[in-house]
């Protein structure tokens, strides 16, 4: 990749940062608890090395790029989507390898709000005589790293809420037809890709019981991706014979249930299925979502794809916990009474410009995908 030096430096920096962001997305959903960072080393207008955070979170992107460049890194510019770490963790600080590699200039999109970094990486680079620029690609980087940002600042993961509705606004049919298939094959494939980009897939207990989903990534060539499956089930009513529970020994399953559930019931379910069950408090008969999400964050989960039904959707939206909403609308109506995909309160939240903004509308086969982002 070469960019003509006749362009203004700001345009050059933006272009290389866009490429670094694209690299970081290659392992999005597979680097938790670390962010999925991308890095480019550029010298004399030519990309000499690339790196992106490895699965499991290490090696880090910067270390990979500098190791690949070797001596060619001296005098080069490093583009990296998040401030390089300056603390000793499972690996040495990335700033040490940047300084030792002789990099002359570092361009980052964002300061890392992790208290262990929080400007220290930039300061150490500047103190070593390296020119540091912060800001190109900041908006896109914040979106890509939102899960990491929320985990270290609010002790919760990012939540992507996915909903599907018929043309007349229903999520499912009558009680005898709970597994109504709404969307077409293109939307279904899109959903599997989205699952692969998250650390965990989450549903409510009602959806787990009624739909009996697998909650796995099943596109050809992607079956190796196994996000943690999470069920919010305040009464521990999930059947051990369900598809979720019966596959827990092959694909991890975490059931978050209410604190009133007895230790005996928890142990019996875990023994029968191989799943893990943890208890959190409840309010008005519903799980405390803040506690449930804190539990996930403390386990290193940064990105959650919620496929729960209308009740989970309303709860997440009411608490301003849905950071992104993906609404799929099919071309055909249900044509009879059913269960609304969005409750009036949930619809009001999405229609409130002070809370959510529309960021994308596009066709997925015969369906329409509408995407919203939380404001603030």
Active-site positions read: 62
Ranges of H-type helices in the chain: 9-24, 61-69, 94-100, 120-127, 138-144, 146-153, 185-196, 205-211, 243-246, 263-273, 289-298, 310-318, 344-351
> Distance from CA of residue 117 to its chain's centroid?
21
Residue 211 in marked binding region: yes
Residue 262 in marked binding region: no
What are the Cα distances from residue 90, in Å, to 52, 67, 81, 194?
Answer: 17, 18, 20, 29
Question: DSSP readout, 288-346?
Answer: -HHHHHHHHHHTT--EEEE---HHHHHHHHHTT--SEEEEEE-SS---S--EESS-HHH
Residue 328 in marked binding region: no
Query: Rounded to the nearest 10 degrees, what angle do helices 344-351 and 310-318 cross at?
Result: 50
Residue 94 in marked binding region: yes
| Among candidate residues 372, 306, 365, the one with its CA nearest the CA of residue 330 | 365
Residue 311 in marked binding region: yes
Task: Tell me 83's DSSP state.
Answer: P
With vertex at residue 115, the alpha carbon angle to CA 113 and CA 118, rounded to the nearest 5 degrees, is 50
Residue 24 in marked binding region: no
Residue 366 in marked binding region: no
What are the Cα distances from residue 2, in Å, to 5, 20, 41, 48, 132?
Answer: 9, 14, 12, 10, 22
Residue 195 in marked binding region: yes
Residue 207 in marked binding region: yes
Residue 307 in marked binding region: yes
Residue 315 in marked binding region: yes
Task: Tell me 207's DSSP state.
Answer: H
Residue 270 in marked binding region: no
Cis, bond preceding 270 (omega within 30 deg of 0): no
80 burial type by CB count under 10 A (0-12 exposed, 13-18 middle, 19+ buried): buried
- According to DSSP, the residues that pair with 277 across neighbouring strands are 255
Residue 335 in marked binding region: no
- For residue 125, the SS3 value is helix
Cis, bond preceding 59 (omega within 30 deg of 0): yes
> What are 129's two structure tokens?
């005589």
Tokens 């900041």 correspond to 138
Compute the distance between CA of residue 202 and CA of residue 82 in angstroms, rounded to an integer: 28
Residues contributing to the annotated binding site for NADP(+):
164, 195, 207, 211, 309-315
Binding site membership: which residues?
A: 60, 85, 94, 164, 195, 207, 211, 218, 307, 309-315
Residues placed in the known binding site for substrate: 218, 307
Residues of the binding site for Zn(2+): 60, 85, 94
């Amino acid at each position: 990749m070469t960019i003509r030096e006749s362009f203004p430096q700001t345009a050059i920096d933006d272009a290389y940062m866009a490429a670094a962001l694209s690299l970081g997305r290659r392992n999005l959903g597979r680097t938790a608890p670390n962010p999925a960072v991308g890095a480019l080393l550029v010298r004399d207008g030519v990309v000499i090395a690339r790196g992106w955070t490895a699965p499991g979170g290490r090696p880090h992107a910067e270390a990979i790029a500098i190791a690949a460049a070797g001596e060619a890194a001296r005098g080069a510019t490093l583009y990296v989507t998040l401030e390089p770490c300056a603390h000793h963790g499972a690996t040495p600080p990335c700033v040490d390898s940047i300084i030792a590699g002789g990099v002359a200039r570092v361009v980052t999109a964002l300061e890392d709000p992790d208290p262990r970094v929080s400007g220290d990486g930039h300061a150490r680079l500047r103190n070593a005589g390296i020119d540091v620029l912060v800001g190109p690609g900041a908006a896109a980087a914040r979106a890509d790293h939102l899960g990491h940002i929320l985990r270290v600042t609010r002790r919760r993961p990012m939540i992507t809420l996915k909903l599907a509705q018929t043309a007349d606004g229903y999520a499912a049919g009558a009680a005898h037809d709970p597994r109504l298939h709404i969307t077409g094959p293109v939307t279904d494939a899109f959903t599997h890709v989205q699952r692969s980009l998250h650390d965990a897939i989450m549903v409510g207990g009602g959806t787990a019981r009624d739909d009996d989903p697998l909650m796995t990534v099943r596109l050809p060539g992607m079956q190796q991706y196994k996000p943690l499956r999470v069920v919010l089930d305040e009464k521990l009513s999930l059947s051990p014979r369900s598809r979720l529970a019966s596959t827990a020994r092959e694909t991890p399953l975490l059931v978050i249930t209410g604190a009133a559930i007895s230790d005996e019931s928890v142990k019996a379910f875990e023994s029968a299925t191989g799943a893990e069950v943890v208890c959190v408090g409840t309010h008005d008969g519903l799980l405390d979502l803040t506690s449930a999400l804190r539990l996930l964050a403390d386990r290193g989960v940064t990105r959650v794809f919620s496929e729960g039904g209308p009740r989970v959707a309303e709860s997440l939206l009411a608490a301003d916990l849905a950071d992104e909403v993906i609404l799929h609308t099919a071309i055909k109506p249900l044509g009879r009474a059913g269960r609304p995909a969005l409750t009036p309160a949930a619809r009001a939240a999405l229609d409130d410009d002070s809370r959510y903004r529309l960021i994308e509308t596009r066709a997925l086969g015969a369906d329409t995908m509408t995407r919203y982002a939380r404001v603030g």
